[in-house]
Amino acid sequence: MKKVILGSFALSFLLAGCIGTDNTRQPQDSPMNNGHMGGQDGRNQEGLNERGMGGMPGARMAGFVPSLESSEGIRELSIPPVLEKQQGQDFDYEVTAQQGTTEFFEGISTDTYGYNGDLLGPTLMLEEGERVDVKITNDLDEPTTFHWHGLEVPGEIDGGPHGIIQPGDSQIITLEADQPAATLWYHPHVHGTTAEQVFKGLSGMLLIGEASGSDSELPDEYGVDDIPLIFQDRLFDEDKQLNYRRLMNLDGTLGDISIVNGTINPKLTITEPVMRFRLLNGANARNYTFRLSNGANFTQIASDGGLLDEPVETDTLTLAASERAEILIDFSAMTKEESLAIINEEGTILLPFDVALADSPADSAELWTSEEPFLTQQEKTMPVSKEIELFGMADMVTINGRKFDMDRIDMRQEQGVTEVWEIYNRSDMMGGMSHPFHIHGTQFKIISRDGKEPEPNEQGLKDSVLVEPGERVKLLVTFPEKGVFVFHCHILEHEDNGMMGQVEVY
Ligand code: C2O
Ligand code: CU
Ligand code: CU
C-alpha cells in the first residue's frame, strides 16, 4: 500500500468549518448532464441521478423524484448484529435468506425478507487475508442467490445470476478476503427478481477489517465508534406493505420513506468524539447526496474498495445505488445544545445525532498521505480494449445494443491481466439518464471521466461508478480470479430488465 502514516492528525477543526477541497465532480454545463430524464409514463424520476452539487443547471426535465420525509428521530438506529462464528460445525458462518415481518410503523406488521432474521442481514466480518466457509441456505419460496458485492472471489461462488439456490437448498462456499480492508455488502442477484428481493429487505454488510497488527488507528469498534449505515428508500402501499409488483417503476423504484439500517425515523446516540461511518447506498435506484446539517466538513477516508489514496475533506458526498464510502465525523467540539444530523441535498433529515459524549478529551485519528501517484503514467495512457455502451431507459435498456442473455459470453479477459474499459453512456434525444455501472469480481480504478482525472474522492478502489448521460469513463480493470462475471447497471430495475452483460475470465 502506498500509505505513509502521518503523525496524529487532530480532527477537531472539522466542525469549525474549515474550508476543504471540494471533492464532488462539477456538473458540466450541458442540459443533458442534468442526470436524468425518465420515460414517458409520467412516473419519471427527474433529479434521481443529479450529483447534488450546488449550481446544478436548472434544466430539470420532466419527471418526479419523491422527496424523502425527514426523520423525526423517534427510534434508536438499529445496528445490524455481527454474524457469529459457528462452533463445532463444518462451516464458519451461516447465512439464510428467509421471510419475516417487520414493524416499520407502530402496531403494523409488514411482510419482509431478511438474512437470519426479518429484515436486512447480520454483518459478516472478515479480516484481510482470511478464508472462511459459509453455509448459504434459501428458506424463501422462490429461488435466490447470495452475491458478495465487491469481494474478489471466483465466478462460481460470486452469486451472480448463475448461482441460483432453489428453495430449501443449501450450499457451503469458501470466501477469501484476498484484498484490502473495505466496506462491501451482500444481496440477492436472481435475474428478473433482484429488485424485488432487495426491496423486500435482502441486503447485508460485509466488512473486511485490517489484519490484526496493522498500524491503522481509525475507529474500528463496531457499533460503538464504527457504524454501518445502510440508506434505502421505500414505498409502502395503503396497507403499509412493500407490495413491489404494484409499486415498482421500470426506471428504478423510488420511495418517500427513508430507512437507515431498516429503521424509520432513526436517531443515533453518539458516545465517542470521533466516529467512523460506513455508508452504503442500498436503494434500488435513488442517488443520495449527503451533507451535515450545520454545513461542516467531514473526512472521507474510503470508497467502495478500501481506503482512498488520500483522505478528503468535504462537505458533500454523493453515492449512487450500490456505492459505499467511509467517513469520519468529529463531534468533540459540540455542545449539548447543538444539533447535528446527516441530511440529504434537499435538507431532508436522514439521521439526527444525539450527542452524549462522556467528558472525553478531543480525540485524534491517524490519517495518511500517499507518496506514489494514484495511477502511473503508463496506466493513464493504456489504450482502451473494451468498450461498453450504456443506452436506454425503462425496459428498453441495453449494453452494447443487447440485453442480458445468461447463455451468451459478451467478452473475455485473461485472469490477472489489466485492461482499460471505456464506459460510454449514450444519450438519446430525450437526454438519457445516469447509470451506476458495476462489475463483479474486481475492484477497479477510474482513470478518467471525459478525459479528466477523477476527483480525489474517486481516487481509490471502486466497483461501481456513476456514468452521466454523454459521459465516457475509463476504468483500469483486473480480475484476480477466474470465472464468468456479470457487469451491469445497479439501478436494480435496469439490471432486471437486461442492462447486464457477462465477461469470462480465463
Ligand atoms: Cu451489487 Cu451485480 O451487484
Ligand atoms: Cu456485485
Ligand atoms: Cu441504468
Ligand nearest to the CA of 437: 3
Ligand nearest to the CA of 39: 3
Please tell me the distance from the alpha carbon of residue 386 to that of residue 475, in angstroms, as a whole number.
10
* Model pLDDT, residue 62: 32
**Helix or strand or coil: residue 210?**
coil
Q: Using a 6 Å cutoff on CB, does residue 187 contact ligand 1?
A: yes
Q: How many degrees, rounded to 5, is the angle at CA 460 between CA 458 and CA 466?
A: 40
Of 175, 122, 179, 166, whose CA–CA distance to 147 is shortest? 175
User: For residue 437, how far is its CA from the centre of ligand 1 (angstroms)?
Assistant: 10
CB 123 within 8 A of CB 205: yes
User: For residue 327, how far is its CA from the centre of ligand 2 (angstroms)?
Assistant: 22
* Model pLDDT, residue 20: 37
Amino acid of residue 461? L
Of 328, 334, 318, whose CA–CA distance to 281 is shortest? 318
Torsion of CA 438, 440, 441, 446, to 10 degrees: -10
Ligand nearest to the CA of 321: 1
Please tell me the distance from the alpha carbon of residue 261 to that of residue 178, in angstroms, as a whole number.
27
Count of C-beta atoms within a 10 Å radius of residue 193:
19
Q: Which residue has the cell 477543526?
A: 13
Residue 205 has φ and ψ, to the nearest 5°, of -90, 145
Q: Which residues contact 335 (CB under 8 A, 6 or more apart)?
A: none
* 3-state secondary structure string across 23-58: CCCCCCCCHHHCCCCCCCCCCCCCCCCCCCCCCCCC
Please tell me the distance from the alpha carbon of residue 332 to that of residue 312, in angstroms, as a whole number.
19
Of 501, 289, 491, 283, whose CA–CA distance to 393 is shortest? 491
**Helix or strand or coil: residue 106?**
coil
Strands (E), 193-243: 204-209, 226-234
Looking from the CA of residue 185, the nearest atom of ligand 1 is 1
User: For residue 269, how far is its CA from the centre of ligand 2 (angstroms)?
Assistant: 32
Q: Using a 6 Å cutoff on CB, does residue 149 contact ligand 1?
A: yes
The CATH classification number of 77-209 equals 2.60.40.420
Tens of pLDDT, residues 434-476: 999 999 999 999 999 999 999 999 999 999 999 999 999 999 9
The CATH classification number of 377-505 equals 2.60.40.420
CB 274 within 8 A of CB 481: no
Q: How many degrees, rounded to 5, is the angle at CA 418 between CA 413 and CA 423?
A: 75
Of 394, 374, 398, 389, whose CA–CA distance to 471 is shortest? 389
**Smallest CA separation from ligand 1 atom 1, residue:** 149
User: For residue 436, how far is its CA from the centre of ligand 3 (angstroms)?
Assistant: 6
Q: Using a 6 Å cutoff on CB, does residue 322 contact ligand 1?
A: yes
User: For residue 321, how far is its CA from the centre of ligand 1 (angstroms)?
Assistant: 10
Looking from the CA of residue 495, the nearest atom of ligand 1 is 2
Burial of 199 (C-beta count, 10 Å sphere; 0-12/13-18/19+):
buried
Q: What share of the chain is helix, strand, coil (3-state, %, to 5)?
A: 5, 40, 55
* Model pLDDT, residue 52: 32
Residue 254 has φ and ψ, to the nearest 5°, of -115, 145
User: For residue 115, how far is its CA from the centre of ligand 1 (angstroms)?
Assistant: 17
Topology, domain 4-71+219-369? Immunoglobulin-like (2.60.40)
Alpha helices in 200-280 (DSSP H): 244-247
**Smallest CA separation from ligand 1 atom 3, residue:** 149
Strands 384-391 and 398-399 come out as antiparallel
Tens of pLDDT, residues 297-325: 999 999 999 999 999 999 999 999 999 99
**Helix or strand or coil: residue 194?**
helix
Neighbours of ion ligand 2 (CB under 5 A): 149, 440
Regions of the chain where pLDDT drops below 70:
1-63, 215, 359-364
Measured in residues, the chain has a length of 506
Ligand nearest to the CA of 487: 1
Burial of 371 (C-beta count, 10 Å sphere; 0-12/13-18/19+):
exposed
User: For residue 273, how far is its CA from the centre of ligand 2 (angstroms)?
Assistant: 34
Q: Using a 6 Å cutoff on CB, does residue 494 contact ligand 1?
A: no
Task: For the chain, count helices (H), then strands (E).
Answer: 4, 33
* Model pLDDT, residue 363: 60
Q: Does this chain's domain 4-71+219-369 share its CATH topology with 377-505?
A: yes
- φ/ψ bin of 493: left (φ > 0), alpha (ψ from -120 to 50), beta (otherwise): alpha
Count of C-beta atoms within a 10 Å radius of residue 493:
23
Query: What are the domain boundaries of the chain?
Result: 4-71+219-369, 77-209, 377-505
**Helix or strand or coil: residue 18?**
coil
Residue 495: its H or E element: helix 492-496
CB 324 within 8 A of CB 185: yes
* Model pLDDT, residue 432: 86
